[in-house]
Each structure stands twice: as structure tokens, then as C-alpha cells.
Structure 1
Amino acid sequence: MGQTVMEHTLPVEDACCMGPDESVLILIKHCQDMKQQETRLRLITLLLLFICTALFIFTTGADLRQHFGSKREMSTVEQSPVPSKQQSLCPAVNPKTSCQNLHIHLRSVATGNTSDGQLIKWDVMFGDNYYYNEEKRAILIHENGLYFVYIRITLSCRSEDGPEGFSVKLQRWNKGYDMIVPLTDAKDGVDCTSQRSRNVFVGQLFDLSEGDHLSVWIDQGYKLIATASAGAFCI
């Protein structure tokens, strides 16, 4: 019995009699293990943080792409009706029936008849003859609209007589009401004893209707006309 007790007590005595160097080594080893675990935890934490940051950036980028993509689709949908609207406002029609295409310039034609009380006869200098009625000596309006009409006449003395009077009138005729309506007029003259020439200009905006005929009537001083021009264009 005594031997048995002695065999069991030896390891205990050995443990109790452990030296201080061995205890320090165990403590150092334990500290090293703790540092390694701390390093692993830091690495794992950094990895998780990197993964979360990458997911956040990816998610944000996907949301932005989806947002701008839907915005572009909406702008395309909003803009797509514009061409069709423009096409409906400006359909393909015969250019001769479009107010915007009226721009005609006329120059007077010498007829040899210089008596007063007649219409000036014209030649088309530029523009379409479609807008000039040679029989009525008038600019023909094909569409309702706002037009600028002008007349320019140069007066010149033909003798050494005293002052000569001049009177011109722009008039309108339409078969719809079959009557001549004066639109505007101008009165001037030239004093052949002191001046040899003079310019007369008339220009004004008019609200005209389809079928209107614009002609230039000379009440007085036809013989004073050296040159004359007239024209009209749509505003």
C-alpha cells in the first residue's frame, strides 16, 4: 500500500517543483498563440470589410446604370412624338400653295403709253410666275397670311416745266367680293426747275387672303416714272 501511494505522488511533486524558466516559456507560447489568433481575426475582418465595400460599389453602380438607362428611355419616348408632330404641322404639300414660298420681285415694263389712270405692267425678275397674273398685272396670293408688300418708283423730269405731281395707289381685288379695295397710297412730285429726280417708296404689312390680286395704279404723273419695281413676300 505504501509503494502504491508513492508512485501516484511523484508526478504531483514534479509538477509542483516545475522551474521558473519553464513557466516563462509557457507564458510566452500562450502570448504568441493569442497574437496569432488576433492577427487571423484582423485579416478576416479586413477581408469581410473589403467584400462589403465591393458589394456596395457594385450595387450602387448597378442602380445608377438602371436609373440613367430608364431616364434615357423616358427622354427617347418623350422626344419621339416631336418629329411626328412636326410632320403633322408641316405636311408634304405642293410648294406653290405654301405661304412661306411666296417671294416675288417685279420690274416695270415700258409700254409707250404714259397716260395717267392705268395699272403698271410688270416683268417677273425673280420668283415664280405662278404668283403673277399677267392679265390683271397683279401679284396673286394663294394662301392666307401676313405679307410685306413694297413699291419703289424713281421719278425723273422729262421737260423743263414747273413742279409735276405724282400719285400712286396699291389696290386689292378678289373675286370673292368682286370689288377693288385701296390698301395704301402715296403722293409726291418733282420740281423740274430745281431737281431732276426723286424716289418714292411704299412698304407695309398686310393681312391678305387666298385669291387676292395686288396691283399698282397710277393716278397722276405716269410720264415721270423712270424705273419702278414692286414685290411681296410672306412673313
Structure 2
Amino acid sequence: MAKTMRLDKLLAHVGIGTRSEVKKYIRHGWVEVDGAKAKSASVHINPETQVVLYKGEPVIYKAHVYFMMNKPQGVVSATEDRREQTVVDLLEEEDQVYDVFPVGRLDKDTEGLLLLSNHGGLAHGLLSPKRHVAKTYEATVDGPVNGKDIEAFKAGVVLEDGYVTMPAELEILSSGDHKSETRLTIYEGKFHQVKRMFESRGRIVVFLKRISMGPLKLDPDLMPGEYRALTEEEAQALLAQAGVGEE
């Protein structure tokens, strides 16, 4: 059974206005429920079965939203920060009203795929250490990379604090004396893990970009700083990966 909610909460949730502003709109007669002008902001409605209009336009309720962002460098993966620009700051106001948060983190100097949502169950499922969700990165490192690095990553490397990583898949795209291009897939999410894994092999990551997370792949049409809503197929695939539903 669908949940009911207060009319003012619904209108605030979709960005019509604050709760105090919504009360004024109702008094002005701008809000209708099932063809009748609303009389109270506190009335409970079922947003899935009842028709709500604001100034004659239907109010579309979405309990959960999912956005794919190509995170740019220089922006922090947080909902708010007093000193730095956050990924949420990059969202349009109409999308910020859904109170989304980044699912997982990318370092400030790392770019690429970042999922933002207000679905706590999805975030918990995708980030759970028990699920081993694959995350693939493109990493540019200083110096050469070779087959010994591939084998080391496949076996699991020892980080500077003694932690032994899970087996990871390293692909060498190009290798040179001064720079190498690689693609690395890991199945866990330790702090600065990709950088620390390469450091264990004597290499420094000079550029890092995440290109996939579970079944979700970065849309090549998204420029750094741009984002879009997930398609229904993408959202359902992520929910399945996380082992949760829409409710």
C-alpha cells in the first residue's frame, strides 16, 4: 500500500516552495487535489493515486531519484562543505530539493562516474563490503607498468598499513618510461585505494577517472560537471546489484 503524506510536505519535496510558502499558495487557491481546491496544508494524500495540481499543472511525485554525474576535478564528494564546492552544488535547484547525496566518494582530484541519490537502501547495498561491487578506473601513472604488476594486483597487494587488498584486475593500455595508461577494476573501496595500490608497486597516480560502478557505466556524452537522471533500466540494474527494491 502506498504511503500517504501531508500536502505541504509533498509540494516542498518537489520544489514548489517551503512549507510556509506552500501554505500561502493554498490560501491563494493555487493548489487542487482531485479537482477541488485544497483547503489545508496538513491534509494527508496518496501521491501515487491522487491528482495534485499547482497552478493547473500536475505535481509529479518521485520518492527516489538517481543521477549519474561526471564529477570534475576540484569538487568534493559531499552534500555540503564550508570551504569547498561540492557535487551537490553542481545540481540544478529543482534536483537539489530531493536531498540527494553521493553514493560513495571520489577524491577531490579524481573525476568520473559518481552516483547521487536519496535512496539510502541503494547506497547501503552498493557500498556494503559483503557485495564486492566492481568499480573500474582509468589511471595514468608515472613510469612503466608491466606483467609483474598485473600478477601482483591479481594476487592482492599489501598496502602501507599492512592491509592486503582483494584480487584486482589490471589492464595496461600503454606503458612508457615516463607514463603509463592503465585500467583497474577493484571490488572493495578502501580509502584512496587505487592510489595506494599503485604506490605499493612504486608508482604514483597522476590522473584518475572512474568509468563504471557495478552495472552502471559513465555516459560518454557527459562532460565533467554534467549529470543526468538514470534511465529506468540503469536504475533497476543498480537496485538489483544492491539487492534492494524501490520501496
TM range, smaller chain: under 0.3
TM-score (norm 1): 0.27
Where relative contact order (Cα < 8 A, 6+ residues apart) is larger, the structure is 1
TM-score (norm 2): 0.27
Looking at secondary structure, tell me which structure has more helix per residue: 1
